[in-house]
Amino acid sequence: MNPNTPPVAAPEITVESFTRAFLRELNFGQGVDLDRASANDKYLALSRAVRHYLTTRWLETLRNQYRDQAKVVAYLSAEFLLGPQLENALLASKLDEVARESLANLGLDLDEIRAVEVEPGLGNGGLGRLAACFIDSLATLNVPSIGYGIRYEYGIFKQTFVDGKQVETPDNWLRLGSPWEIPHPENAVEVTFGGRTEAVEGADGARRWIPDWRVTALPYNYMVPGYHNGRVNTLRLWSAKATHEFDLQIFNAGDYAEAVRARTFAENISKVLYPEDSTPQGKELRLQQQYFFVAASLRDFLENVLPDGYDLTKLPDRITWQLNDTHPVIAVPELMRLLIDEKGWTWDDAWAVTQKCFAYTCHTLLPEALEVWSVDLLGRLLPRHLEIIYRINEEFLEVVREAYPGDELRVRRMSIVAEQPERAIRMAHLATVAGFKVNGVAELHSQLLAEKVLHDFAELWPEKFTNVTNGVTPRRFVRMANPGLSGLITEAIGDGWVTDLSQLSRLEPLAEDPEFRRRFREVKGANKRRLAEVLAARDGLEIAGDAMVDAMVKRLHEYKRQSLKLLHIVSMYEGVKSGRTPLESITPRTFVFGAKAAPGYVRAKETIALINAVGRTINEDASLEGRLKVVFPPNYNVTLAEVLIPAADLSEQISLAGKEASGTGNMKFALNGALTIGTDDGANVEIRQLVGDDNFFLFGMTEPEAADLQAKGYDPGAYYESDPELKAALDLLASGAFTGGDKGGAVASLFASLTERDRFMALADFRSYVDAQATVEEAYQDHEEWSRKAILNVARTGFFSSDRSIQDYLDRIWRAEPVTQNH
């Protein structure tokens, strides 16, 4: 880049100038007049107009980055669940008011235009959304950073219900155009696969890889604006394209059809996001995806971000690659390969640098969620990487043997290569060996990581292990999603909280102020009406505008225990129907579910069907006088979360203790003034410590209690037999009362699974859960006291800002510095 290129002046932030930008985009970009423009034309034109304003800042950020050569954090993640972009861009660039006014002058409504946006669903759930929150915070904290991931052509599937059963349809999010991305074909890189390796004479460790197929990785840049700070970072997502050469070779061989087929094969790599959350399947295409984006990203950094001739022995001063779970861990042998085979380094030199470049975040505790790749598959797809992994392992096991002479059992446990049930590479072990830090995502999770999942490693390298509790961005999840509450907070304490969420603590005294509580309730009420409107328009669902909103939204997984929630609802219903509970004693409540099940996860899909069946019966039962409602809007996503969370009174965080690594929905709800009913699991533990026992409904076994019970031999049948209410609820379900008399299928399957095995001990926690729910009912009767608790939840959860998480990563892991922009 020529350092003398004159900076482009940012367009003025005025209504007139914005109107001009918008109309120019509409006329020249979309090629339509205002009065002929479709809703989508307006959305695209508006987005591009906003993008102009950010672009100037973006170029400036890139120029400064090139000039300063500061340390960069690269966040490597297979998922970025961004959510809608337009409003965030408006807010970050201070254009929100100006755009609204400009559009109003043209007779247009900003909110109507916003409603056209299709969010890029490039993630499954918490892990992908965390990545999105983190890049927002990195930009807001002025940290030079790049997000690297995959531009899936199809994101997480769109969920619909047919007869209450989940049906998946493809999410064609790019169909109507994608105004937030800019392709950069000139920065495309090649990624190779397959083939074999051969010796290189006289080199220490170097081998030659002769791959047998290749694809082009085409980068698309997305802007990641900081909040009101003039920085715009980059998210770079890779798309797979067939290479020219490859085509030509086959065309020349005269096989046109084969050439086209090969093209499709190559381009399949970035076609679709795997829809499994927490339990990835070891599919070949998934490994292709992982290597594809990681190889492209490393090369991009070395060739496009670092200056020519950069001394790579200093690489750790310029970069930390943060590995978002094990999905990008193949980056480790890839960097080794680049340094040894392509740059001619010795093994030891390469390893010394590689070890200082990567840090690993683990997001799980479930054994089935730990990624392993069969040696057979890895060797076929990435033969050179397999060799490198073997040598890393050999040298690592020498270290283990030296530290624990004679302890071959330990060596086997710790080995990166598992021998049973088949030879396979344990990616978490590789990440732990190569990473200079390993972190869990909440206190309890990090503790269990070090004590259980990675115990041997924590014993060998205690200083490697640390915790960084997750957080969420207050820009999207409070400021944007909850304008009512934001206004109230800002009026009370100023607007500094948006970038320093710890300031929320200054709201604490206002919990005692009846007028503030009244206004807080007013905001909640308005948010509930907005939710009711959205659910009516989106799904034709009807909810009361003033009932307690009790929300359980998260991926459907047995460990999260949606079935326990279902048992509670059935039990309440059974109580009324059997006359045990007087109807008048029941607080009007709307249960809101949101959950996608992995398409191949049969039990999860059955649970969805059952929730819908129970919901239908309850909603249609006139004898309840509308006091209980169950709604399950399909296709829960970030867009819906932004409407639902601000309306919620009660947040359900009911996983079996020791199973949910952190949770982040729990934080979003608390920050929006919902009270949590939850187990001592994941970040719930820290939420409860901060808000206090009086403002949190705790129930269930602790992690050690659950582990004890499991060890002693857990018998769910005993709970079923000994708790009459539990038995009545399960029996009612099993009787077919909610399924038109059908006692087979999902009903029988759930009943058997809960009473016979109950892997996540829902029955053991049932009693304590329904008792806690009774306390909730009672507490909700006292509106003043409930509002007090809700306000205290807001005031005391500023800790859960992703800005704080990122500051923790900076201080304790990355050791990178913020760089102030001059703006």
Positions annotated as catalytic residues are 363, 554-555, 560, 664, 668
Closest to 221 (Cα-Cα) out of 300, 143, 286: 300
Q: What angle do CA 446, 448, 454 make, to 5 degrees?
A: 90
Edge-first strand listing for the sheet containing 548-553 = 628-631, 589-594, 548-553, 650-653, 675-678, 697-698
Min CB(274)–ligand 73E separation in Å = 7
Give the amino acid at 209: W
Bridge partners (DSSP) of residue 199 are 207
**The one among 441, 485, 613, 670 contacting ligand 73E by CB under 6 A:** 441
CB 392 within 8 A of CB 350: no
DSSP 272: B
Cis previous bond, 421, omega within 30: yes
Closest to 251 (Cα-Cα) out of 242, 288, 271, 186: 242
The 3 state secondary structure assigned to 439-472 is EECCHHHHHHHHHHHCHHHHHHCHHHEEECCCCE
Contact between 777 and ligand 73E by CB under 6 A: the answer reads no
Bridge partners (DSSP) of residue 591 are 550, 630
Min CB(681)–ligand 73E separation in Å = 9
Contact between 328 and ligand 73E by CB under 6 A: the answer reads no
Contact between 60 and ligand 73E by CB under 6 A: the answer reads no
Please give the structure tokens belonging to residue 701: 């076994």
Which of these ranges, 49-57, 182-190, 286-294, 655-663, lies near ligand 73E under the rule CB under 6 A?
A: 655-663
**The one among 664, 676, 695, 773 contacting ligand 73E by CB under 6 A:** 664
At residue 472, φ and ψ (nearest 5 deg) are: -130, 155
Contact between 443 and ligand 73E by CB under 6 A: the answer reads no
- By C-beta, is 156 or 191 nearer to ligand 73E? 156
Min CB(427)–ligand 73E separation in Å = 11
Contact between 658 and ligand 73E by CB under 6 A: the answer reads no
Which of these ranges, 514-522, 632-640, 660-668, 803-811, lies near ligand 73E under the rule CB under 6 A?
A: 660-668
Please give the structure tokens belonging to residue 354: 């590689």
Cα gap 345→351, rounded to integer Å:
10
DSSP 234: E
- By C-beta, is 259 or 431 nearer to ligand 73E? 431
Do the bridges between strand 232-242 and strand 213-225 make them parallel or antiparallel, or are there none, so unpaired? antiparallel
Min CB(661)–ligand 73E separation in Å = 4
Contact between 652 and ligand 73E by CB under 6 A: the answer reads no
Min CB(768)–ligand 73E separation in Å = 22
Helix or strand run (H / E) with residue 813? none
- Per-residue binding string, ligand 73E, 394-433, x by CB under 6 A, is ----------------------------------------
Contact between 681 and ligand 73E by CB under 6 A: the answer reads no
Which of these ranges, 10-18, 122-130, 431-439, 668-676, lies near ligand 73E under the rule CB under 6 A?
A: 122-130
- By C-beta, is 247 or 276 nearer to ligand 73E? 276
Contact between 364 and ligand 73E by CB under 6 A: the answer reads yes
CB 224 within 8 A of CB 139: yes
Contact between 682 and ligand 73E by CB under 6 A: the answer reads yes
Contact between 663 and ligand 73E by CB under 6 A: the answer reads yes
* Burial (CB count within 10 angstroms: exposed 0-12, middle 13-18, buried 19+), residue 200: middle
Helix or strand run (H / E) with residue 386? helix 383-403
**The one among 142, 178, 662, 672 contacting ligand 73E by CB under 6 A:** 662
404 C-beta neighbours (distance < 10 Å), count: 16
CB 217 within 8 A of CB 232: no
- By C-beta, is 519 or 554 nearer to ligand 73E? 554
Min CB(774)–ligand 73E separation in Å = 28
Contact between 124 and ligand 73E by CB under 6 A: the answer reads yes
CB 672 within 8 A of CB 478: yes
DSSP 588: P
- By C-beta, is 363 or 796 nearer to ligand 73E? 363
Is the sign of the CA dihedral 114, 120, 123, 129 positive or negative? negative
- By C-beta, is 88 or 664 nearer to ligand 73E? 664
Which three-class secondary structure state does DSSP give residue 426?
Answer: strand
Min CB(275)–ligand 73E separation in Å = 9
- By C-beta, is 117 or 277 nearer to ligand 73E? 277
Helix or strand run (H / E) with residue 147? strand 145-150
DSSP 705: H
- By C-beta, is 383 or 682 nearer to ligand 73E? 682
Strands of 318-388 (E only): list them. Answer: 319-324, 358-361, 372-374
Which of these ranges, 46-54, 95-103, 517-525, 654-662, lies near ligand 73E under the rule CB under 6 A?
A: 654-662
Contact between 363 and ligand 73E by CB under 6 A: the answer reads yes
Min CB(557)–ligand 73E separation in Å = 8
- By C-beta, is 145 or 326 nearer to ligand 73E? 326
Contact between 126 and ligand 73E by CB under 6 A: the answer reads yes
Which of these ranges, 56-64, 601-609, 659-667, 790-798, lies near ligand 73E under the rule CB under 6 A?
A: 659-667
Binding footprint of ligand 73E, residue count (CB under 6 A): 20
Cα gap 661→641, rounded to integer Å:
21
**The one among 46, 127, 444, 480 contacting ligand 73E by CB under 6 A:** 127
Which of these ranges, 542-550, 662-670, 711-719, 737-745, lies near ligand 73E under the rule CB under 6 A?
A: 662-670
At residue 56, φ and ψ (nearest 5 deg) are: -55, -45
Min CB(104)–ligand 73E separation in Å = 39
Min CB(802)–ligand 73E separation in Å = 11
Looking only at residues 458 through 477 of this chain, which bind ligand 73E when binding is defined by CB under 6 A? 470
At residue 424, φ and ψ (nearest 5 deg) are: -150, 155
DSSP for 646-714, written as a single string: GG-SEEEE-PPTTT-S--SHHHHHHHTTPEEEE-S-TTHHHHHHHH-GGGSEE-S--HHHHHHHHHH--
Cα gap 317→563, rounded to integer Å:
49
Closest to 210 (Cα-Cα) out of 382, 71, 15: 382
Cα gap 320→200, rounded to integer Å:
31
- By C-beta, is 280 or 678 nearer to ligand 73E? 280
Looking only at residues 234 through 293 of this chain, which bind ligand 73E when binding is defined by CB under 6 A? 276-278, 280
Return the residue matching tokens 């349809």.
169
Min CB(589)–ligand 73E separation in Å = 26
Min CB(365)–ligand 73E separation in Å = 9
| Distance of alpha carbon 126 from the chain centroid | 3
Contact between 130 and ligand 73E by CB under 6 A: the answer reads yes
Contact between 660 and ligand 73E by CB under 6 A: the answer reads yes
- By C-beta, is 179 or 280 nearer to ligand 73E? 280
- By C-beta, is 427 or 747 nearer to ligand 73E? 427
User: Binding residues for ligand 73E, per CB under 6 A?
Assistant: 124, 126-127, 130, 276-278, 280, 325, 363-364, 369, 441, 470, 660-664, 682
